[in-house]
């Protein structure tokens, strides 16, 4: 009887150790994906932008793809859009104003604008 419990315990311990290895591999894969993503994309995902904008569908504001189609990807437009992100504004895409994000750093806003303009196909 003791031997059966011992074998059952060893079997459970062996199975548990294999499941830990698998979960570690899953964690590493997910981490690698996050490291490869764009800084601007991460900043947008953490911000309130997702409440008004989607990647390819108009919501309250234009989609990121629509923005990329309208503005060529160059330094002038990156700076312009970064300024719009920080200061907010209205009238370009309709009457609904975009709220200001004055606490956002200029470099972060530029990263977000570069990501958006990089979506142009």
Q: Within this chain, do residues 3 and 15 fall inside the same structural domain, yes or no? A: yes
Domain count of the chain? Answer: 2
Which domain does 53 fall in, by range? Answer: 39-121
**How much is the average pLDDT of 69-86?**
96
Q: Which residues of 20-41 are buried (b: 16+ CB within 10 A; e: fewer)?
A: eeeeeeeeeeeeeeeeeeeebb
Contact 88, 101 (CB under 8 A): yes
Q: Within this chain, do residues 14 and 56 fall inside the same structural domain, yes or no? A: no
Q: Within this chain, do residues 26 and 65 fall inside the same structural domain, yes or no? A: no
**Residue 59 is part of a domain; what is its CATH number?**
1.10.760.10
Contact 64, 53 (CB under 8 A): yes
d(C-alpha 98, C-alpha 111), whole Å: 18
Write down the pLDDT at residue 28. 39
Contact 27, 21 (CB under 8 A): no
Q: Within this chain, do residues 62 and 107 fall inside the same structural domain, yes or no? A: yes
Residue range 21-69, pLDDT digits in tens: 444 444 434 443 444 358 999 999 999 999 999 999 999 999 999 999 9
Q: Can you tell me whether residue 16 is helix, strand or coil?
A: helix
């Amino acid at each position: 009887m003791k031997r059966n419990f011992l074998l059952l315990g060893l079997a459970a311990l062996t199975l548990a150790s294999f499941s830990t290895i698998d979960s570690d591999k899953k964690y590493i894969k997910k981490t690698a994906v996050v490291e490869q993503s764009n800084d601007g994309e991460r900043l947008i995902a953490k911000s309130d932008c997702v409440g008004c904008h989607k990647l390819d569908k108009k919501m309250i504001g234009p989609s990121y793809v629509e923005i990329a189609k309208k503005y060529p990807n160059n330094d002038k437009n990156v700076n312009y859009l970064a300024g719009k992100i920080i200061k907010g504004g209205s009238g370009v895409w309709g009457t609904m104003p975009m709220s200001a994000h004055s606490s956002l750093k200029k470099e972060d806003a530029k990263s977000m604008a570069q990501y958006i303009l990089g979506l142009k196909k």
